[in-house]
Structure 1
Amino acid sequence: MEILELCEKIGLQPEVKKRVEEISKEFDFGAAEEILKDLHDYDKMKEAWMRLEEKIGEDSEHMKILTCMLKASADAYEIYQKKGIEDSIYFATMKCYTRFLEEAYERTGRYVFDRYWWTGRQAGCHLFRIGELEYEIICKKSKSPEGGTGISIHIPSDADFSPACVDESLAAAKHFFAEYDSARQSSAYCCHSWLLDPVLQTMLGQDSNIVSFQKRFEIMDIGDAGTDYLEWIFKTQEKDPEKLPEKTTLQRKVKEHILAGKVIRNVYGRLIG
């Protein structure tokens, strides 16, 4: 698949698509070929995007590295086809680029590609969006409370987080891995997220989507205090707790929690059943 075809299929913003087209006409992808191939090795993935960043050098709003990641993702289409993975999963997975750019625009008023450190997972065929959730194959050499193996669940910002949609996604994922990688049939499903912090249960009703999601997991590690939740709950770059918005019940209660000197942790959980 060609880069511009992928851009079209995932609905990349016209302004960004134009810049990608201009860069792709001049960029020497051959010089970055080996780096992009390393994205397919889970344990080389982080080093690969760091090397790519260094090789590219000055990169206004990270549009060059976006173009490279799109090139790697377009090339990955052949792998999907060989493995018999349906196009709907491929395009749903690659729409992460459009989503990340839109999220950056909402925060900054500019199309900035600030998630290039994450998209090696999609470009390297380690992460798949199946229904409303994303599933990342965690390889053996990587470190995690589960011993470096398993399937990690991620919750995209645009996901329908209702119990019914989560049920549907989990069922589809189990079917997907049985078909795509039978060795993963017995893999544990895990999640590492602020969404699993039990303290949120004191702020939300027991019938909330977040609490319903938490009840699916056994806590394996309470984790460390983080700040990731600020971006997702408050949708702002504001770091001063006093200035955080209070438009929703969750925002008001989390803000009160922070101002009281308390924290929200990135908790590790294992899916029950």
Structure 2
Amino acid sequence: MELKDFCKGIGLMEEAADKMLSLPISEEEYTRNRELYRQDYFAFCDRIKEKEDFRIWMLAYLCRFACDTYDVYMERNIEEKIFWDTFRDITYWCENCLRDYGEYGINEYGWFWRHLKLTLFRLGRLEFELLEADHDITGILEGKAYKIPKGTPIINIHIPQGDPLVKEDCEKSFQQACTWFGTERPYLCHSWLLYPKLRELLKPESNIIRFQELFTLLDTDMEGTEAEQRIFGEVLSDPAGYSEKTGLQKAAKKFLMEGKKLGNGLGIYLPGR
């Protein structure tokens, strides 16, 4: 696939595509870095980070690697729409890079090995990642202790940005996933969107609360600051500095100003329930 066609297919901003396409990447350099990427993705990332303006270089390489991945999709008879939907993540993260750093490129580069190694696919509204649990996953399910041992094959659910989180759209995604992956593996989601105390901030009919209804909550934690990053686009030590442009921002800021914290929820999707 031609790089220009790929950029068009994922809806990459013209300015970003033009800047990326103007980079002086020789075939020798590309081949050398592609081999490193195939051997050790994170070693490849470390090498690119040494470049000045590394974010635009990262964008260029990820897009070219994605073009190579297109052939694998076709060989496996995976629907072309799934390819475009999955790799549109590059556009979203390029937009985030422009917002956060004032430049086109990719800063969240550690995320994309999943797309390139074909372990993550976007099926409709949601993304589904095939992996093995890297630790024992525990919680309470229907009043009883529940455990998924380390090494168990699972499906990790991600919620990509870009579209409203409509419950009916998510239900269709699960239908696709269950048809494609089956129902033997546990479908798990660890996200701030599943934090139960969001019910104190939002109305029952909000998209986030309706999304929570798709899952059975296994556990909660206060690790990280994902909620604040996603809601406000930044993390501040003093919540008084957060903006209040949306209803969620206003409610979350008030919640935090009262000394409360926003955490995460671990949920399991149980087909047929």
TM-score by shorter chain over 0.5: yes
**Which residue in 1 is equivalent to 2:261?**
263
2 CA distance for matches of 1:24 and 1:36? 19
Code of the aligned partner of 1:18: D
**Which residue in 2 is equivalent to 1:225?**
223
In the alignment, is residue 95 of structure 1 matched against residue 88 of structure 2?
Answer: yes
**Which residue in 2 is equivalent to 1:78?**
71
How much has 1:238 moved relative to structure 2?
A: 5.4
Q: Is the 8 A contact 1:61 1:111 kept in 2?
A: no
Q: Is the 8 A contact 1:107 1:237 kept in 2?
A: no
**Which residue in 2 is equivalent to 1:34?**
35
User: SS in structure 2 opposite 1:66?
Assistant: helix
Match for residue 66 of structure 1 among 42, 54, 59: 59
Q: Is the 8 A contact 2:57 2:105 kept in 1?
A: no
**Which residue in 2 is equivalent to 1:45?**
none
1 CA distance for matches of 2:112 and 2:24? 18
User: SS in structure 2 opposite 1:222?
Assistant: strand
2 CA distance for matches of 1:265 and 1:213? 16
Q: Is the 8 A contact 1:197 1:267 kept in 2?
A: yes
User: SS in structure 1 opposite 2:111?
Assistant: coil
Q: Is the 8 A contact 1:226 1:264 kept in 2?
A: no
1:122-141 aligned at under 5 Å gives the runs: 122-139=115-132
Q: Is the 8 A contact 1:225 1:263 kept in 2?
A: no
2 CA distance for matches of 1:205 and 1:215? 13
1 CA distance for matches of 2:206 and 2:98? 29
Q: Is the 8 A contact 1:188 1:271 kept in 2?
A: yes
Q: Is the 8 A contact 1:225 1:264 kept in 2?
A: no
**Which residue in 1 is equivalent to 2:174?**
170
Tell me the C-alpha RMSD between the 2 structures. 2.1
1 CA distance for matches of 2:73 and 2:188? 24
**Which residue in 1 is equivalent to 2:155?**
151
Inter-CA distance 107–71: structure 2 relative to 1 (3 Å threshold): same
Inter-CA distance 23–110: structure 2 relative to 1 (3 Å threshold): closer
Inter-CA distance 3–218: structure 2 relative to 1 (3 Å threshold): same
**Which residue in 1 is equivalent to 2:141?**
none
Higher strand share: 2
Unmatched runs of 5 consecutive residues or more in structure 1: 39-47, 179-184
In the alignment, is residue 203 of structure 1 matched against residue 201 of structure 2?
Answer: yes
2 CA distance for matches of 1:192 and 1:59? 35
In the alignment, is residue 52 of structure 1 matched against residue 44 of structure 2?
Answer: yes
1 CA distance for matches of 2:266 and 2:5? 38
**Which residue in 2 is equivalent to 1:181?**
none
1 CA distance for matches of 2:73 and 2:198? 38
Q: Is the 8 A contact 2:58 2:105 kept in 1?
A: no
Q: Which moved more, 1:106-115 or 1:204-213?
A: 106-115
Higher helix share: 1
Q: Is the 8 A contact 2:227 2:263 kept in 1?
A: no
**Which residue in 1 is equivalent to 2:2?**
2
How much has 1:80 moved relative to structure 2?
A: 0.8
**Which residue in 2 is equivalent to 1:43?**
none
How much has 1:105 moved relative to structure 2?
A: 2.2
